[in-house]
Structures are given as C-alpha cells and as structure tokens.
Amino acid sequence: MTLRCLVDSLGGRSGPVTEDDLEALYRPPRLPWLRVNMVSTLDGAANGESGKSGSINNEVDRMVFHALRTQCDAVVVGAGTARTERYREAEVPLVVVTHQGQVPEQLREAAPGKVLLATCADSPGLDEARALLGEDQVLLAGDAQVDLPAIKAQLVERGLRNLLSEGGPHLLRDLVDSGAADELTLTVVPRTIAGVHPRILMGTAVDASFDLALLLEQDGTLLGRWLLRS
Ligand SMILES: NC(=O)c1ccc[n+]([C@@H]2O[C@H](COP(=O)([O-])OP(=O)(O)OC[C@H]3O[C@@H](n4cnc5c(N)ncnc54)[C@H](OP(=O)(O)O)[C@@H]3O)[C@@H](O)[C@H]2O)c1
C-alpha cells in the first residue's frame, strides 16, 4: 500500500511519499498553468461499464484528484462530462466549456459566481445562458468555435491562474491541439476491461509530445505528470 515516487524531475524526490507530500509534488512549475487530470485503464479505456470514470478509478487516484482540487483556482470541464458525471458546484468556480451553450440541468440553480460558461459567439444557447448565469459569468471567445487559449487568458485575467481541467476526452483533445494545456496528469489503473470505451483524447488526429515530470506508484497504479512540449 506504500505510495512511492519513482521519478520527480521537478523536485528531485524519491522513495516513499505520503498524502501530505502531494501538494508539493503536484505544484505547477509556474503560473498561469492549466493541467488536465484524467484516468485510464491499461487498455486505454477512459470510462467503465457505468459510462463514468468512477467505474475505473481507485482510491489512490481519488486521493490525487482531491489534492489537485484543493490547490486549484478553478475547475474547467467539458459540457459532456459535466452532464454525464452530473457535476455540481465546487469549492472553486466551475467553468463549463460548451458550443451549444446549455447550462447543465443540475448547475442551473448554482450560487452566483460558482458556475461560468465558456462558449463562442454563434452558440445557440448564448442568450439563455446569460439570462440564467448573468452576463459576467458567460465567457465568449471565438466565433464558430471556442478559442480555448483566449478563454484561458480571460480566466487568468480574473485571477484564476492555477487551472485544473477534468476533461473529458474531446475537451482534452482540443486543449492539447490549441496549446492551451500545459500538463497531462494521468492515472493508469492496473486493469483491462476491453469493450467499447472512449480513450482519454477523442476527436480528429492531433500528435503531441510530452516530457515526464513525475511518476508515483502504488500497488501497480501509476500516477504521472507529463508536461506538454511547446
Ligand atoms: N477518464 C477520465 O479521466 C475522464 C474524465 C472526464 C470524462 N470522462 C468520461 O468521458 C465521457 C464523456 O466524453 P466527452 O468526450 O463527451 O466529454 P467532453 O469533452 O467533456 O464533452 C464533449 C462536449 O463538451 C463540449 N466541448 C468539449 N470540448 C469543446 C470545445 N473545444 N469547444 C466547445 N465545446 C466543447 C461540447 O458540449 P456541447 O455539446 O454542450 O457543445 C461537447 O459536445 C464520459 O463517459 C465521462 O465519464 C473520463
């Protein structure tokens, strides 16, 4: 059950680590920073039989998930994931990225400022989203498509500099493709499940390279940080 550090190119740690060490091990090397935290099985599934990531993650992954939530300024999530995983308001602002512009059902009653929508000018739901959340809570960037680096810049302008995205796969693909992502934080659980499941990146091809910054291991689960090469 020991959590061990195998690689730490940023901080130079090695050997056993505890939950208390996670804040330092996962600290962004600079701000602003946008990391995307995901989990996958050995055979590349990004969800399990329930259709949610909760059916493939495990205790040590949840521990890192909570450590990342604790240190971030805002959580950025694709509308598909917000809908499927029934996202609720969090301690920090939740930024829902959407083209359609529909505020997910369970977030419509959120307290003012707790939910922001990131969308583009031709979003069909723009007027309704503004009425529901308030004009100031709807971030606009791009005309036909959401300009993710511009959304990131708007969040930074609001003082939200340590950004945590929790996917999903289409948003991760676009964050990597647009260069808005700085880091992929990935847990690989020691299971295979076959069947038909999304991978952690979905959509049209994008070839990106990463440098390994951190690798932790517990009972065969690998928890890594990979920094996007610019
Ligand atoms: N393994 C993991 O770590 C992990 C993490 C998260 C989710 N998941 C799983 O992934 C599945 C959901 O996959 P998904 O690909 O549908 O998730 P997703 O990327 O969160 O959702 C896709 C939807 O989000 C919005 N969106 C994403 N990128 C956008 C962009 N660049 N611009 C504008 N809108 C954008 C669009 O919403 P609109 O339709 O509203 O325009 C799009 O239809 C679920 O099974 C979930 O459990 C797994």
Separation CA 44–CA 35 (nearest Å) = 20
pLDDT at 19: 97
125-128 contacts, C-beta under 8 A, 24 or more apart:
125/98, 125/100, 125/101, 126/101, 128/101, 128/102, 128/103
Mean pLDDT of 39-68: 97
Among 145, 170, 175, say which to mutate for ligand 1: greatest number of ligand atoms within 8 Å of CB.
170
Please report the domains of the chain, with CATH numbers, ordered by start residue: 17-205 (3.40.430.10)
Please list, residue by residue across 91-125, b when 16 or more beta carbons sit within 10 angstroms of its beta carbon and e when fewer do. Answer: ebbbbbbbbebbbbeebeebeeebbbbbbbeebeb
CA of 85 to the centre of ligand 1 (A): 10
Between CA 91 and CA 159 the distance in angstroms is 16
**CB distance 97 to ligand 1 below 6 Å:** yes
- At residue 114, the pLDDT reads 97
Query: What pLDDT shows up at residue 197?
Result: 98
Averaged pLDDT for residues 121-130: 97
**Is pLDDT at 150 greater than 90 in this prediction?**
yes
Nearest to 169 by CA among 202, 208, 197: 202
Q: What is the reported pLDDT for 192?
A: 98
Angle between helices 148-157 and 169-178 (to 10 degrees): 90
Q: Name the closest-CA residue to atom 10, ligand 1.
A: 168
pLDDT for position 23:
97
* Whether the predicted pLDDT of 1 surpasses 80: no
What burial class does residue 193 get, using C-beta atoms within 10 Å of its C-beta: 0-12 exposed, 13-18 middle, 19+ buried? middle
pLDDT (0 to 100) of residue 106? 95
40, 47, 52, 62, best to mutate for ligand 1 pocket (most atoms within 8 Å of CB): 47
pLDDT value of residue 35: 98
Query: Measured in angstroms, how far is the CA atom of residue 80 from the centroid of ligand 1?
Result: 4
pLDDT score for 213? 98
User: Mean pLDDT for the chain?
Assistant: 97
Task: Quick: pLDDT tens for 178-215.
Answer: 999 999 999 999 999 999 999 999 999 999 999 999 99
- Would you state the structure tokens that stand for residue 64, as one six-digit string? 């890192």
Q: State whether the beta carbon of 217 lies less than 6 angstroms from ligand 1.
A: no
Q: Are 11 and 160 in contact (CB under 8 A)?
A: no
pLDDT at 155 over 80: yes
pLDDT at residue 230 tops 90: no
Q: Does the beta carbon of 99 sit less than 6 angstroms from any atom of ligand 1? A: yes
β-pairing verdict for 3-8 and 15-17? antiparallel
Which residue has the least CA distance to atom 17 on ligand 1? Answer: 168
pLDDT of 153 over the 80 cut? yes
Taking CA atoms, 99 is separated from 7, 143, 204, 210, in Å, by 39, 10, 17, 28
- Over residues 69-92, the pLDDT tens digits come to 999 999 999 999 999 999 999 999
Mean pLDDT of all residues in 118-140? 97
Q: What is the pLDDT of residues 168-186, one digit of tens each?
A: 999 999 999 999 999 999 9
For the Cβ of 170 lying below 6 angstroms from any atom of ligand 1, the answer is yes
